[in-house]
Structure 1
Amino acid sequence: MEPYLPSNWNTSALHGAAPAACALLLFALPALVAVSVCLWHLYYRCASLQRQLVQSEERLSLGFEGSNAGLCDWDIAGRKMYFSPWIHRQLGYAPGAFARSPRVFFDYIHRDDRRAARRALCRHLKADETHTHEFRLRAHDGDYRWVRVRAQVVRRPDGKAIRMVGSLIDVTDRKLAEDKLIEEKELAEITLASIADAVITTDNHGRITYCNRITEQLLEMPRKALMMQSCDAMCRIYADRPNEALPDLMRPITWLDDAGGADRNLTLFRPDGTRVPVHKSVAPIAMPGGKTIGAVIVLRDVSEARRHAEQLSYQATHDELTGILNRREYERRLTELLDSENRLSKVNKEGRGYAVMYLDLDRFKIINDTCGHAAGDALIRQVATELKSRLRDGDLVGRLGGDEFGIVLPRCGEADACRIAEQLLDTVMNIQFSWCQRQFTIGVSIGVVTSDAGMSTLKEVMNAADSACYMAKEKGRNRVHLFRRDDEDLSVRQTEMEWVSHIKTALKQDRFCLHTQVVKPLHAGIDPSGRHQEVLLRMVDEQGKLVPPSVFIPAAERFDLMPQIDRWVIRHSFKALAELPPEDQPNTLAINLSGASIGDERLLNLIIEQQQETGLALSRICFEITETAAIANLPRAVAFINRLRELGCRFALDDFGVGMSSLNYLKNLPVDYVKIDGSFIREIVDNPIDRAVVESINQIAHAMGKRTIAEYVENEAIIASLKAIGVDFAQGYGIEKPKPFFDAGCTCGVVEQPGGRKAA
């Protein structure tokens, strides 16, 4: 079959060219095969290189992404930029949507970082080192991420930069951590700078790695001079040991050996040798694994606190007015001395001996009352100064009361103690005290007790010295009295002091009771009711036995306890009288008052208070005061009596006749009754002088409009004599023995002895 040929083809020509074409084909076929093979090899090589390039890019990309970094490439000549997919993902942009040119890229940089980034880039393009810079890039959500760019410039042989290739790392977390760390550091710096303590950190070798401003002030050195210096070189810390000499006073403190501990009473030595009291605390600086890398030392300047503590200690042990020991510290130190002496005696060793003095100023009250308390204080200070100046080193002087002083002389025998006491006596006597252009002299009574007396307790020694001082006053004042156990006067004094303790206890425990004794009219019509009674006081001892007033009243009078007793008697007398049935109540109840209560405003208020509480008419109350108490301060007694008489009370003058000027004083005292002293009544039957005295007193009292009462009436003969004389009332065992005043604290009977004393 013939092939189809176009109609315009010349088949003859075709047949003529066929051999030539076949020859050419045969000649070119090997070359074509060779070219095809080369092309195939070239294609395969290109495909292999392409695969290798892709793999390389994948490895590079994975490597960057694995290190939390992305690839960036800047074609400087073409003004194009390439950022790897990791960067797009990290910033939240779609692939290829992030900056493609430098101009756009800089728009993504935070405006606060933009200028610095441009400068850093320009600086890098002119140099050969690696470009490193950190700045913030805007993410797709509008937030900014901190990135760190590290890139290298590619240059042509002539040095012109044509490309920059590098990595971009997201360092946001690190920057936030750094910012937080910086913030915490600044906060710590501010805190450490603001606290009042010196804070030092050291390494394990004790070298200073940090110190705050207070440390500079405490050590008086700048921080630069302290850094990396040894703590021991900059300052030394010593522990104080009180009561030791200076060479043995200090003990070095190792900085790190006591880490975790705190010490008080420490002294810091500055490099210049000056001292500062400090409180130190040390704590180790440990890593999370427990390894110690240093220590934190806190030093507090306690100069002011220590001065304050020393001041408080001084105030607690010294008298504020005089600066000498107060009573508490004086007794504490005396107790230590006595304990030491007792310990020596227990091991059969002879003690070193001591003497104790009790000093009471004479005529001090006159100056204090005349010139005022300021003058009294000035005098006390002057006396204290003079006493201190005359004592030996180691002797103690203390202020025991208002104008009372105590002195302790260690290692002192009896002869030396008496000699020193006489010197102190002369010293006080020679004091010339001036106040408001007036001159005063004073004296002092001194009681001395030595270790020879065999006292072993503070109470025994103080009581003995006080008793000896009292005896010095009793014997005329302004003298020295040495305590001896066989001294009869001191024995009486000791007994009275013991009773003082019993009286105070009885008052506290309400161990007093009241008795009453009838005061009987001797003539018809004087007291129709016949109910006139006197209150008598008794004390109940620890065994429940009654103690008559003659035993305890002298001690109460001597030691100013009578006002307390008077108030007890008044309260219980009013109460008992109010609680008696009307038919048993006396018309007149006589209550004794001591001289110490005359003029006492508190007693007046108590009487008014008791009247208001009980509702008793004060006209039924008759107060008895002794003649001696009345004439001791006559104007005061008259004013006191008149005030109570205005309230309705009556008064009796007790023990009348014992004074030398009784009759002279009687006309000035507004009393209702005169009680003739029992010393004139006992012998009135057989002694004409006593009878004459009673007759005179009775006549004068009646002339003044006063009733008379005879005390200590013990038999019918005395009663008959008194009736004959015309005495109005009689009281005593011959009339009726005392009996308990029921509901007044005592319901038991008592065997009264004739002549027993009444409540004063």
Structure 2
Amino acid sequence: MSHPSHLPQDLEFLLKGLERRIADISHAMEKGKKVLDTADLLRLAAWDVADTGLCIVDENGLFVDVNPAYTRIYGYSCEELVGRPFTMMLPEASEAMGKKALKDFFDNGGEPVMEWEARKKDGTLFPILATAGLFKDEKGTKYKITSVMDISRSRKERDLHQRLGFIFENLKEEIFLINPDTLCFEEANASALNNSGFDLNTLRSMAFWELFIGAEGAVFKELVAEMESCSEGKRRFQVYICRRDKTCYEAEVRLQRIRTEETCVIAMLVRDISESMETLRALKESEENLSEAQQVAGIGSWKLNRNTEILRWSRQMFRIMGLSPDGSPPDFASFLKQVPEKDHAHIEKALDAAWNEGEAFQLEHGVFVKGELRILSVMGRAIRDDQGRVQHLVGTSQDITEKKKAEAELHKLTMAIEQSTNVVFITDRHGTIEYVNGVFERVTGYVREEAIGQNPRILASGETRPETYASLWETILSGHTWRGDFKNKTKGGSFYWGKGLITPVRGLGGEIVHFLAIQEDITEKKQAEERALYLETYDVQTGLLNRDSFIRRLDGEFSGTGAGLLIDIDGFKLVNDQIGYARGDQVLRALIRTVHQVMDARLAADRWFMGRFGGDQMALFIRNMGSAEALALGEEIRRQVEAKRFEDSGLRLTVSAGLAMIPEHAGDAATLLAVLDAALGKAKELGKNRCRIFVPKDREGELKRATFHKKQRILDALAADRFEVWYQPLLHLASRKIFHYEALVRMRETDGSVVLPGAFIQAAERHGLVGSIDRVVAQKTFVLQALLEKQGRKISFSMNLSARDLADAGMAAFLQKSIKESGADPQKLIFEITETAAIQDMDRALDFIRQMKALGCRFSLDDFGVGFTSFVYLRELGVDYIKIDGSFIRKLHERQEDRSVVRAIAQMARELGIMTVAEFVEVPETLEILSGFGVDFGQGFFIGKPAPAALAFSRIPVQP
């Protein structure tokens, strides 16, 4: 048996108070007293209605008396216990120890609050909390009074509350931690800070005795020294404490030395006893009030007269009811007015039984206190006069509102966790799993017994980068919540995706003691996204990049050098006709593997990429390769394919290839593909099974035909209103919100396919049609902006203007008129121009910018950083934004030189008051780097792809 370290301190004060009350009760039971006066009756009533078990044992260990609560706890009647040994309440194994403890008690005096294992009448063993006091009667006979509390339920609830971290938050006692070397305060809980009025920094500069009125440091230094030298390591005393606002209160202070393996600290527990001491002093004048006021702190006592229905309340009862203790209590009818009507019948039934049958009662009911509904736990018992008639009811009332709320919240929390559709688990500070819910078991395949005691690493897929784990631990150990997605592995080895959060749970001292993880199983969503992304990027049959993805990759290669190859399988249509399309696809995949083998044998994987351009065509691009090397590579591919035997039948195939170089033959993707197609056509014209590097003569006929064809396609699309505007979001990096989009043109073909600008813009510029296209884009964007504005959606747009637009004398007037007619907000419109377009006619460009800015529009300088004159013209153009060229952004997370350029541009722009936009943001690492540099906006596929208006704005919230 030992003093439990987790004992609530309020309980210890309660039990000590009961010792004094019991001693007082014994006086009322003096031998030979025939008639009990009112004070005696109240003492006996207090003995009877106490909810704590009380017993009196003589020196022989025989019961002298027990109260009703004691019999309820053990299941015996009073008659079954009086005169019998107290050891019948102990397990057989503890009887000898109990007898020895009784002898030590009578020899040495009182004993502390202890936990025992006790035995009920039915043999059930259960835990109790007990303390005892010694008193003598007038003859000097010694008796032991023991108070007992069944803590079976409270122990379970306590353990659960400790796990969920509720204890410290609800602790009302003031706790200070003292440095044993300096004797200055180190820490204090919320109750201590609130009651003292001092902040923690101020307390840390104070020796602990500086809180006490009239305290001498030497005295308390000596007290601490004595405490350190004794084995118990405790001291208790009463002092007056001065708050920061100079008000004072009487307090009981306990000092306790606490040692761990790492440290030593002195805990100072302060209990404000001002009210209780004031009550005790006042109740010394009234013996009747003394027995009522010395109940349990927070429990009010009352007495109801049957004839007059007058209530008498203790001071605590006044406080419970929200009334001044100096006032008069209401009569019973007035009291009922504070009780909800639904509880009236419940109360009246209990009182009727008490008045008529003398039955004790216990019930719970609501009461309105200053307009707030509170819940009271009430116990009462009838008091009879000399003729046995019930004249009074006495009892206690306790406000259990917070307890009920805590129980309800605990129940809700437990049910929510168990019934949640999400994976939930709790770990200790070091990551050891302590709890998992049912969903965890179903999703991961680990049952609760297998998971508890393990580290969440049992779920690791092996695909998460170390820096992600480092960021996670840094976040949660600093007290913040981490959010993100994880790819996990089940017990069976399959993978699943979890989207969720990990949040720290703090303990009694505010330190992190647990981590709570909640994950939503998003496996199906991730698989669907991955499948959609794959289908959007790759050719299903071959696994190669599809045409659009290849062109997007190709768009970013024109700042360097390289070679393009367009490979066509000679006569492949006949092969499909002969062996069927299913086997033809197998042959195609085998041929592609042959090409891969050639490429892998000669080049690193990061130097080239390949895409499928049609049923029998593949395109390759190789970085940093000259024409001679490219031709040799093409010939090697041709030879390997020619030497290969496909299918069991020994099918032989040949390929033709067109080659072209950048920048020699093309400056953009559309041109490169055109010249590759021309070179390939010439190779086939010359007999197939050959490679040919492009020469200008290859395009003479093709260019004439293509130019006329493209011009006609553009004119037809303009006439049929088949130019669409798609919108790509820009992310504001500081707020991580999207409220700006770029308008991008797309041409819809008659077959419903969508053509990217790279395939028609050059032709439009060559034939003077780009201005007409820009007008369509502008008008549709203006109308959309006005519509969104009316819906409360605060969205701004940027759109491109060509050099022809700046040179067009009527363009500014057209735009101004269109803005006014559409009702668009000019301040939400931004026009993107390139440096090259502006410097062709600087005066006209400046005039155009001035006219549009006068209306409220703003301007952005596109492709910034690639021209050495950019910094010269930046100030003259007076732009509001600069868009950093994508060639610096695409590999920002890999190239230090790119990071240096972007950092310098961002710093320069800030100093000039110009906003910055970074395009081609394709990975999360790039986004974080840009945020660190102070770039204002990010744009790219990682943030969002271009989409028609109906899709782009379907999820934008209405803003106030």
Same fold (TM over 0.5): no
TM-score bin (small chain)? 0.3 to 0.5
Question: More relative contact order in 1 or in 2 (CA 8 Å, sep 6+)?
Answer: 1
TM-score scaled by structure 2? Answer: 0.33
Rg larger in structure? 1
